Homo-oligomer: A and B are copies of this chain.
Amino acid sequence: MSEPTHAFEGDGRIRAVVEAVSPSVDGGRYPVKRIVGDTVVVEADCFADGHDLLAARVLWRRERDADWREASMGPIGNDRWRGSFKVEEIGRYLYTVCAWIDPFLSWRHDFERRADAEDLRIAALAGAALIDCAAARAAGGDRARLEAWATQLRSETDAAELRRIALDAELGAVAAVYPDRRFTYVFPAELALVVDREQARFSAWYEMFPRSASGEAGRHGTFRDCAARLPYIAKMGFDVLYFPPIHPIGRARRKGKNNALAASAEDVGSPWAIGSAEGGHKSVHPALGTLEEFHELVRAARGYGIEIALDIAFQCAPDHPYVKEHPQWFCRRADGSVQYAENPPKKYEDIYPFNFESDRWRELWAELESVFEFWIGQGVAAFRVDNPHTKAFPFWEWAIDKVKRKHPEAIFLSEAFTRPKVMHRLAKLGFSQSYTYFAWRNTAWEITEYFTELARGPGREYLRANLWPNTPDILTEYLQFGGRPAFMIRLVLAATLGASYGIYGPAFELAERDPRDPGSEEYRDSEKYQLRDWDLDRSDSLAHFIGRLNKARRENPALHSDWNLRFYPVDNENMICYAKTTPEGENAVLTVVNLDPYHAQSGWVELDLRALGLEAHASYQVHELLSGARYLWSGPKNYVSLDPGRAPAHIFRLRRRIRTERDFDYFL
């Protein structure tokens, strides 16, 4: 056996230890995510051998800065320490934790416990030496005060007086500012942190097909038509207006209505079959308008507080210019033809995927990344990324990081409906938000399990859910069979369980629910393959209901985060009850939903009053935000009855305090 050398690298005198720093994703391999203005709470196990006292600090900095900043940490029990810092800017940060055995603090701690006079005298000399060292590290007034203190400790002979001097709290605090940090242990990993703008955590998305926005049956919609639609969308209270791909659509192998294999001459094709002689991922479909008209739309939207998000789908129609210009970016079949997308026996011959194992992968990566940069140049900062789980993982990490270092405001929504580990990986790699399994979580048990995992599980450090009750690809059976109440139920769940949510409209607000085939989640006459003309003025439209819901969301900070979600029992399994509260508890919103779209349901909800900041023996007001009604409740158990035909859900703002005689001036 070869004997390894045993040179110990480092300073063996460093006795303090830092372990288990949190938050941490895969030991710091991936960044945790926060929002600008957040207080980042960092914890670690900090301890040393023996019983000397420790000091610990959070070290943190903007990644671009050279110098660490520090935040003090304090013990919270079981050798766990906690500290925090506030992030005031978007971008990348680093943080870690350091700790050291503090000789001065240890001396003071021991001194307090010493009993006999001789012992105190000798300990005072030791303390004076430590304080002299602190003085040497200080300057000005502090230095002088410390030096004077050391002198006092050396000269005083009376034990009681010595004790008083040594334990002077004020001087002790001065000395503690200048600790002896020679033997400081620094946790070896520098943990990464990405700070996003608020919309990465709190946002309401509205998806629509611009080409269906003309308001006239049969006329292809334009960006100008979309601009005319903005007041309608703003009235519903959405922040983000998201379009499926707006690029030229391939003509080769174009799909017809309802995904028919053969298209007629009038068929408009699928926007996801990107590229034709008219251009590719950096062009706009001529029928929608010009790039300048797109800019106008972006500006007009901004006037309504709405930002435009684009769908980025990295795939090509057979006539995309890339196919001829960069044949090396695609796989070939054994007959020499370009490999179309397939999942045998299914074939998608209108779509050519990129080959991420191409020898020209660097060139391919650079071009794809430049697509994001191009659209950022056109005023877009939010991207819904189509099927990221069918593209190489390393590409996403590299590309998102590259974009965000130049444009830290960029938001990437991962549209991956796939296996849990893959969805989590994409979120770790940098996606700001992720689609979820929400659409298929219908029962109270399913919802409780899944959202407890999202709100409390370790994945919350990097995966931010964006909840969609429907998408152009997903018309769930719950919606198909549950009628208008089902849409209301799923909308309330999405908007209150999720700080971020979205709907695909106008299909959603008009409760469009005919599937292409029984058992399918595809829409009949789907806008994916044809223009649709929507009657937005229908009396049964949910637009007004959505508006009230989004207003309640905006006005209640408790609904701006997902971490503060807590479920409460209801004695009826057709109902669900949960609350969100702000960290300081000044805002609390309780939602009760009847999950049965067919029948009225009622039950007793049981709250944890303490967790909600309510007093056990006082009444409290619940203010129903959809109807405006107010009720007085008291105690943890209250009765709720919900008729899906009228209102399948209550969203209550809890008002902690109601007026009593003590509110009159003369009571004082």
List chain A positions with a Cβ less than 8 A from chain B.
1-4, 6, 8, 10, 12-15, 17, 19-20, 26-27, 45, 47-51, 64, 78-79, 91, 110-111, 113-115, 119, 122-126, 129, 183, 333-335, 342-345, 347, 356-358, 361-362, 365, 389-395, 398, 401-402, 405-406, 419-422, 425
Chain A interface mostly: mixed
User: In the bound complex, how far is the Cα of B2 from the Cα of A51, in angstroms?
Assistant: 45
B19 contacts A425, CB within 8 Å? Answer: yes
A122 contacts B394, CB within 8 Å? Answer: no
Nearest neighbor of A346 in chain B, beta-carbon distance: B113
B78 contacts A420, CB within 8 Å? Answer: yes
Whether A12 contacts B129 in the complex (CB less than 8 A), given A122-B333, A344-B113, A406-B3, comes out as no
Whether A356 contacts B405 in the complex (CB less than 8 A), given A49-B392, A50-B389, comes out as no
Taking A6-B401, A50-B389 as given, write out 6 further A-B residue pairs in contact, using a Cβ cutoff of 8 Å, ordered by the A residue number: A12-B361, A12-B365, A26-B27, A45-B421, A78-B419, A119-B347
Nearest neighbor of A395 in chain B, beta-carbon distance: B12
User: In the bound complex, how far is the Cα of B91 from the Cα of A1, in angstroms?
Assistant: 10
Nearest neighbor of A114 in chain B, beta-carbon distance: B344
B4 contacts A79, CB within 8 Å? Answer: no
Q: Can you list 9 contacts pairing A with B, beta carbon distance less than 8 Å? A: A1-B64, A6-B405, A12-B395, A12-B398, A15-B357, A27-B27, A50-B390, A78-B419, A115-B345
Nearest neighbor of A13 in chain B, beta-carbon distance: B357
Whether A125 contacts B335 in the complex (CB less than 8 A), given A26-B19, A78-B419, A344-B110, comes out as yes
Give the Cβ gap from A128 to chain B, nearest Cβ, in Å: 8
B392 contacts A13, CB within 8 Å? Answer: yes
Nearest neighbor of A15 in chain B, beta-carbon distance: B392
B49 contacts A13, CB within 8 Å? Answer: no
Residues on the B chain within 8 Å of A13, using CB: 356-358, 361, 392
A419 contacts B79, CB within 8 Å? Answer: yes
Residues on the B chain within 8 Å of A347, using CB: 119
Give the Cβ gap from A25 to chain B, nearest Cβ, in Å: 11
A113 contacts B345, CB within 8 Å? Answer: yes
Nearest neighbor of A48 in chain B, beta-carbon distance: B393
A14 contacts B344, CB within 8 Å? Answer: no
B421 contacts A47, CB within 8 Å? Answer: yes
A394 contacts B10, CB within 8 Å? Answer: yes
Please name the 6 residue pairs, one residue from A and one from B, whose CB atoms are nearest each other, closest first.
Answer: A125-B334, A113-B344, A27-B27, A79-B421, A115-B345, A13-B357
Nearest neighbor of A2 in chain B, beta-carbon distance: B64
Residues on the B chain within 8 Å of A183, using CB: 357
Residues on the B chain within 8 Å of A51, using CB: 343
Whether A47 contacts B425 in the complex (CB less than 8 A), given A1-B64, A345-B115, comes out as yes
Whether A394 contacts B357 in the complex (CB less than 8 A), given A114-B344, A334-B126, A335-B125, comes out as no
